[in-house]
Structures are given as C-alpha cells and as structure tokens.
Amino acid sequence: MCGEKITWAIFFSGGGRSAKDCLDLWVDGCLSVHQINCVVTAGQNADNIKSFLDRNIKVIDKSPSEFATISDYQVWLANILVDMQVDYLFLIGYKYRIRSILLHTFKNRILNIHPSLLPSFKNTQRAIHEALELGVKISGITTHIIDENIDEGYILDQEAVRIPANTTFSEIDVAFNQAGKILIERTFNLVREYHKPQSYLNGYIENAANLI
C-alpha cells in the first residue's frame, strides 16, 4: 500500500461506547494508516456524536425511518459514502440491517463486530445475556465481513472472554468492552495488511432496480 490513508465510515446506534473506543484508538495514533471519514448514526448519543464532531469528522445523523423505504435510505447513504471515497464500513453496535444496496456498493468491505464467538449466538442482540443464561464458560467477540445472511459472513478475527461462575451482566460487560478494544485495533491492522486500493468501488446508483 502506498502512502494514502485507508478510509472508513463508522456505523453505530445506541450508546456508541465502542465507536468512541475506536475514535480514541485513532486519536492516540494506534490507527495511523487509517482515516475515519465519517460516522453514521441516528442521533441516540449526543455526547459521542460531539466527540467525532470535535475531531472534524462528518456525522451522518439521519434515521432510516425518515425515508419512505429502507432502500431509499440506503441508496441515499451509499451515494454519500461513494462521494466521500470511503473504502470500508465498520458496524460497531449498529442495529439496522445492511441491505443489498450497500452490500453491492461496498462488496466485501463492510465489517461488523458481534459479541459472541460466531457461529455461536448469531442473529441475536442478546448474545452476552444468552451466554450468561446458559452458563457458558467462554464466549467472546468476533469481527466478520457482512454478507446477505445475518452473522454468517467470513470471520476476520476473534477474542475470547472467560465468564466466571455467577457473573452478572454488568460485571462481564466490562470484560467484553476491553476485549472489544483489543479486537477493533487488531482488525484495523488486519485490514491494513490485506488492503488493495481499487478504482472506485461500484460507482453511484440511482435506485434499487440497478441491482437486479
């Protein structure tokens, strides 16, 4: 890879704690060959949105519910990201499903972080709770490529978390957060190793019919 930065859009909803951890890694110089071009969210944590704005990072703060259809929203969003020449999308605690429009535009360049050792506890937003309820002794966190099937894309990396007996969610949540920081940094480094620039993605699209 030449001297150009690898560019990213960070997606989050809810509290955005792990997205803020990602920003901190970048600010601290741990992601030196990477550039966060923008964040995509739905305005659910003003403090963390401000953290990105304070670093002159563009915030795309619009809910899919503001559009007639999810397809309309993702066409609008895909064209903005193409215009910003974003290389990769990283979903860090993002609750909305990625549809074919973004999957086509950023083929094999959409990453997700999931709080389990996939394929265990896939397709659930309660992965940690379910691990606790079943008495699992070892769980963890996975980063993977997004495809058409939820939590079934190519696994990039995993970080294990031991779960002691009688652990509460609030106690183990701290361990998962720390493991997430480690895995996020390692995943960025993995992308750096294998990144290949391309002449720019799959171009602009006008509507979902272009993908048929």
> How does pLDDT run across 159-211, given as a tens digit for each residue?
999 999 999 999 999 999 999 999 999 999 999 888 877 544 444 444 433 33
pLDDT at position 44, please?
63
Question: What pTM was computed for the model?
Answer: 0.88
Domains of the chain: 6-123+139-159+181-207 (3.40.50.170)
- The per-residue pLDDT for 63 is 85
String of DSSP letters for the chain = --SSPEEEEEE--TT-HHHHHHHHHHHTTTTTTEEEEEEEE-S--HHHHHHHHTTT-EEEE--GGGSSSHHHHHHHHHHHHHHTT--EEEEES--SPP-HHHHHHTTT-EEEEESS-TTTT-S-S-HHHHHHHTT-SEEEEEEEE--SSTT-SPEEEEEEEE--TT--HHHHHHHHHHHHHHHHHHHHHHHHHH----SSTT---SSGGGG-
Largest Cα separation within the chain, whole Å, is 53
Q: Which of 143, 138, 142, 144 is nearest to 172 (CA)?
A: 138
Residue 125 pLDDT > 90, yes or no?
A: no
pLDDT score for 46? 64
Residue 114 bears catalytic tag: yes
pLDDT at position 43, please? Answer: 60
Residue 70 has pLDDT above 60, yes or no: yes
The whole-number pLDDT of residue 3 equals 59
Q: Which is catalytic among the residues 34, 104, 114, 195?
A: 114
124 pLDDT higher than 70? yes
Which residue has better confidence, 153 or 16?
Answer: 153
Residue-wise pLDDT tens digits, 15-33: 788 888 999 999 898 998 9
- Per-residue model confidence (pLDDT) at position 183: 96
Task: Dump pLDDT digits (tens) for 1-13.
Answer: 445 889 999 999 8
**pLDDT class for 158, splitting at 50, 70, 90?**
very high
Q: What is the crossing angle of helices 17-27 and 46-53, to 10°?
A: 20
**CB neighbours of 118 closer than 8 A, spacing ≥ 6?**
142, 144, 151, 155, 158
Task: Judge whether residue 119 has pLDDT over 60.
Answer: yes
The answer, yes or no, to whether residue 52 has pLDDT greater than 80, is yes
Average pLDDT of the chain is 87
